[in-house]
């Protein structure tokens, strides 16, 4: 094993946002030296990593030159220049997750094709290179309202996903490459995080359940464990494992799924990194997802994915109608409640629906946790001065 | 309440060692801006705090000038220049723990006098300004062998404490101010951490039990909860609360105690900050001691001090016979065991008995945790290249 701890080994991370920041908590715990590349000199990681490089993650030279300075490269965001990663890999750099998997995952169209090719159940879809192609398909009754529209690339936090119910909705879409999916009635949105190291050791976290904010299309509560039938949970874990195996994936893969009304599991999409749906693990799990990400990419033994207690995560997003220097109103009220831990991501400015932090609620009893989560949600407000 | 989160509030910390480093994990989680003063430009905190100032903690000007740049001042080590703190406090700076309490705690002689003045049970002691005074007392049969010798100041991790059994032991002691204590036969060494904020809200952590390494006089295992009678535990918590109350203390106070063979509780000494005996709390407690320290000094509501699971901490100290660039031999072996989390403090060079990190073992069953702790202890070795 390479000596990663208090050594001259240098871990490179592409991206310096909140996921990187939570990953740094773990590199600091294990004293692994980290260098970060991000275009924003005020990124959440900028002040607290060992080494910060400013540069565009989609720029070949920025990524390539950064990669040449590190011993192993990983990501905290998948929208990075893959040609640079391919060249770095050709030149011998270890990169996890693998560039070939990032290439599949970066594009929702390629992801969908991958699922179809590997008999992985997912909602039926069509792919359009431009919005005009989609309009043409609608005009010719090849696609019927309502349907789900997804930008093929650069979607995040619910951006890049719309339910299209009529011609007006269609007209408001951006002109970009996209896919459409049948609108499937589902009981639950679920997620499973899988970790796999280069030796092939693999572990799944418990299935979590997600409740979405009806307007913002952002996750409002992530509940671990999901309050679902154990057979459904088992099916979800097996499906997530199949994807990891079919991709020959190394790292952390978050698999988002739908549980249909007839209890089938369909894959929605995957993320090749620590994920919002795993933040509860910092307080609730024996090994949190960020430490597990490090263990998997460094080919260390994977940690126990079981939970000590039930966990619920509430996203802290900017309130509508507030922009500017952030204030976390009533944060002291939620700190009074047992088992409540706020995480503040270090963004100085709030905007409506901007993801500013999250709050984890842990409790021995999941129903008590759910009540407290609601109380937290109704108490704290992300506003501006 | 003041706005501490993602704001221009600046927390100053005197000391940038491993306790500071674990405290920074919490300031980062809450996005509280931190400035650190330490004499060592390679201190564990140097690279990961928002602002690092190099300077001697015992130097009036260094501490005073640093204090003038921050909004609230705290410590991660108690050996700091108190005259500077007094002047800063006079000039309006909020300092927790209070300088008056640090003055009592810095000196073991003053601590002992405080216990006597407040009818707090502690081992009988004598105080000597110089070693010569102690020798004189021995010659005149005022002190009898064996006894415990403690340097009045600057002891840490078992340094500054010796059991003196004969004239030869006496001759090898340093010339400094000291106290001596009767050697008391005890069943257990216990510790209780108490948090108190400026509003007077107070919470105690469960009583922990400490096992010491027989030669190095350093803690080998910290076990939470202590495997003792519940009435003894209750007495220990009450005694710790009395000390906090008598000091009118604000912050985190770690109280080390002896459980005598007849089940009395005697105070050994206190530390006015997060403490080695509370490291288990990072993985085991609802609110870890570092977050609790922040809550207490910022006058925020205190968090739940209960444990999710049993926790045991093993100190990682440099093996005898190794000095130089550190290697954590067999760390990958301990990572294979469920519920095992290493913390590496970021010191590049090991020395015999130097505190280099710790490992936490958490488990639903304390006896299983204890077995695993032994396995961890027998597996990992802190050696040099």
**Chain B residues close to A300, C-beta within 8 Å:** 332, 335
Q: Which of A 248-287 lie inside 8 A of B, CB atoms?
A: 286-287
Q: Which of A 4-43 lie inside 8 A of B, CB atoms?
A: 5-6, 21, 24-25, 28-31
The pLDDT, as a whole number, for residue B153 is 87
A33: closest chain B residue by CA: B346
Question: What residue has token string 């952390």?
Answer: A252
Q: Centre a 10 Å sphere on the Cβ of residue A333 and count the other Cβ atoms it contains.
A: 15
The pLDDT, as a whole number, for residue A60 is 98
The pLDDT, as a whole number, for residue B193 is 98
Q: Which of A 69-108 lie inside 8 A of B, CB atoms?
A: none
**Chain A residues close to B344, C-beta within 8 Å:** 5-6, 29-31
The pLDDT, as a whole number, for residue A157 is 58
ipTM for the whole complex? 0.94
As a whole number of angstroms, the distance between CA B35 and CA B89 comes to: 18
Low-confidence ranges of chain B (pLDDT < 70): 1, 155-159, 216-218
The pLDDT, as a whole number, for residue A267 is 97
CA gyration radius, chain B? 21
The pLDDT, as a whole number, for residue A143 is 87
To the nearest whole Å, the CA of A272 is away from the closest chain B CA by: 23
Helix (H, G, I), strand (E, B) or coil at A190: strand
**Chain A residues close to B49, C-beta within 8 Å:** 48
Contact B236, B265 (CB under 8 A): yes
**Chain B residues close to A306, C-beta within 8 Å:** 338
The pLDDT, as a whole number, for residue A153 is 87
What mean pLDDT value characterizes chain B? 94
- Cα–Cα–Cα angle for A24, A241, A96, nearest 5°? 35
A322 inside 8 A of chain B by CB = no
pLDDT (tens, 9 = 90+) of chain A, 385 residues, equals: 689 999 999 999 999 999 999 999 999 999 999 999 999 999 999 989 999 999 999 999 999 999 999 999 999 999 999 999 999 999 999 999 999 999 999 999 999 999 999 999 999 999 999 888 998 888 888 888 999 999 988 766 556 888 999 999 988 888 889 999 988 888 899 999 999 999 999 999 999 999 877 776 667 899 999 999 999 999 999 999 999 999 999 999 999 999 999 999 999 999 999 999 999 999 999 999 999 999 999 999 999 999 999 999 999 999 999 999 999 999 999 999 999 999 999 999 999 989 999 999 999 999 999 999 999 999 999 999 8
Q: Is B131 exposed, middle or buried (0-12, 13-18, 19+ CB in 10 A)?
A: middle
DSSP string, A41-60: TT-TTTTTSSEEEE--TT-H
Domains of chain A as residue ranges with CATH: 10-95 (3.40.50.20), 124-182 (3.30.1490.20), 186-384 (3.30.470.20)
Q: Which region holds residue B217: left if phi is over 0, alpha if psi is between -120 and 50, else beta? A: left
The pLDDT, as a whole number, for residue B1 is 65
A346:B6 CB<8 A: yes
Q: Using one digit for the tens of pLDDT, what is the confidence trace for B135-165? A: 888 888 888 899 999 998 876 655 688 889 9
B117 inside 8 A of chain A by CB = no
Of B6, B47, B328, the CB nearest to A344: B6
Contact B207, B226 (CB under 8 A): yes
Of A308, A328, A339, the CB nearest to B5: A328
The pLDDT, as a whole number, for residue A216 is 62
- Cα–Cα–Cα angle for A77, A83, A87, nearest 5°? 110
To the nearest whole Å, the CA of B6 is away from the closest chain A CA by: 6
Strand partners for A381: A329
């Amino acid at each position: 094993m390479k000596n990663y701890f208090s050594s001259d080994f240098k871990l490179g991370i592409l991206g310096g946002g909140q996921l990187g920041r939570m990953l740094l908590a773990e590199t600091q715990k294990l004293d692994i030296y980290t260098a970060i590349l991000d275009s924003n000199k005020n990124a959440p990681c900028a002040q607290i990593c060992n080494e910060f490089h400013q540069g565009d993650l989609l720029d070949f030279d920025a990524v390539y030159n950064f990669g040449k300075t590190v011993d192993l490269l990983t990501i905290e965001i998948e929208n990075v220049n893959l040609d640079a990663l391919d060249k770095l890999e050709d030149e011998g750099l270890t990169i996890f997750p693998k560039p070939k998997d990032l290439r599949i995952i970066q594009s929702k169209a390629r992801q969908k094709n991958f699922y179809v090719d590997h008999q992985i159940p997912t909602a039926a879809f069509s792919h359009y290179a431009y919005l005009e192609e989609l309009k043409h398909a609608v005009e010719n009754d090849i696609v019927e309202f309502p349907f789900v529209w997804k930008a093929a690339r650069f979607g995040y936090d619910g951006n890049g996903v719309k339910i299209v119910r009529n011609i007006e909705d269609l007209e408001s879409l951006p002109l970009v490459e996209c896919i459409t999916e049948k609108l499937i009635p589902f009981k639950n949105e679920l997620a499973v995080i899988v970790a796999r190291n280069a030796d092939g050791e693999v572990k799944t976290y418990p299935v979590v359940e997600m409740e979405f904010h009806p307007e913002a299309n952002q996750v409002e509560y992530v509940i671990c464990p999901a309050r679902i039938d154990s057979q459904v949970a088992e099916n979800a874990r097996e499906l997530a494992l199949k994807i990891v195996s079919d991709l020959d994936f190394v790292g952390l893969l978050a698999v988002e799924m739908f549980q249909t009304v007839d209890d089938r599991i369909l894959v929605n999409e995957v993320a090749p990194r620590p994920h919002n749906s795993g933040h509860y693990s910092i307080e609730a799990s024996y090994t949190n997802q960020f430490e597990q990400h490090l263990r998997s990419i460094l080919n260390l033994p994977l940690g126990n994915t079981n939970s000590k207690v039930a966990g619920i995560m509430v996203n802290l997003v900017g309130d509508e109608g507030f922009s500017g220097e952030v204030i976390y109103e009533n944060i002291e009220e939620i700190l009074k409640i047992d088992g409540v831990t706020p995480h503040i991501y270090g963004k100085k400015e709030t905007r409506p629906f901007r993801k500013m932090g999250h709050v984890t609620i842990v409790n021995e009893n999941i129903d008590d946790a759910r009540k407290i989560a609601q109380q937290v949600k109704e108490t704290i407000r992300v506003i501006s001065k």
